[in-house]
Chains A and B, each alone.
Chain A
Amino acid sequence: QVQLVQSGAEVKKPGASVKVSCKASGYTFTSYDINWVRQATGQGLEWMGWMNPNSGNTGYAQKFQGRVTMTRNTSISTAYMELSSLRSEDTAVYYCARSLAAAGSMDVWGKGTTVTVSS
């Protein structure tokens, strides 16, 4: 079945970086964009950006420009999201979700990766 499997929980210190992976299976990885969405405890959904696994093209929310990098390894159908210069406010659950294209709906979601930033 179609699924996105994310890497496990991370605990990082302020100023460090974190890299979360999202492995796709059950469909052609390069046919769908991958979005990253985060959610702090008790808060709403916050879109971080998207990546086209075929071209490698990316688009990031202005809030994260300069701090986020989205990449992929097509040989293992895996997308990555790296967030640098972590601060406590980055503590959240990070989701990957596929969409058919920009402006498309996100029809399959990973289960989420909890990232905790704490000294």
Chain B
Amino acid sequence: SYELTQPLSVSVALGQTARITCGGNNIGSKNVHWYQQKPGQAPVLVIYRDSNRPSGIPERFSGSNSGNTATLTISRAQAGDEADYYCQVWDSSTACEVFGTGTKVTVL
């Protein structure tokens, strides 16, 4: 089955840039979506189809996808960006959605 690997944690200084990676075999050929989840809350979509932001998501959130790695970038990180982040793709070979392992982002 298809696997998505994310770093367990990423730390970023206030106002700096955080990059969260999502590794998968030839992930560049798939559409990658990213979710933010704060403690005790449901996930929120922050990037869809690699690099598109839903309405209401700040421009500070951006995404890219190529080769075997997709990346979510948070620019000018704020305290409110502290959360768990998950990538997600559709695995057509098994007809299943697959979530990444999740990354905890800490803003220092």
Q: Mark A residues whose CB is within 8 Å of B.
A: 35, 37, 44-47, 50, 59, 61-62, 95, 97, 102-107, 109-112
Contacts and interface: CB of A to CB of B under 8 A. Distances in A.
Given A105-B33, A109-B42, A47 B96 contact: yes
A71 to B, nearest CB: 19
B99 A109 contact: no
B98 A47 contact: yes
A95 B41 CA distance: 11
Nearest to B49: A105
Interface string B78-108: 0000000010101010111111111000000
Nearest to A93: B42
B97 to A, nearest CB: 4
Contacts of A102: 90, 95, 97
Tier of interface size on chain B: 20 to 34
Contact of A47 (B41, B99, B102): B99
Contacts of A62: 1, 94, 96
Contacts of A47: 96-99
A61 B97 CA distance: 8
A35 B97 contact: yes
B44 interface: yes
Nearest to A35: B97
Interface string B51-91: 00010000000000000000000000000000000101010
A109 B97 contact: no
Which of A103, A104, A105, A112: most chain B CB closer than 10 A? A105
B43 A45 contact: yes
B43 A109 contact: yes
A37 B102 CA distance: 14
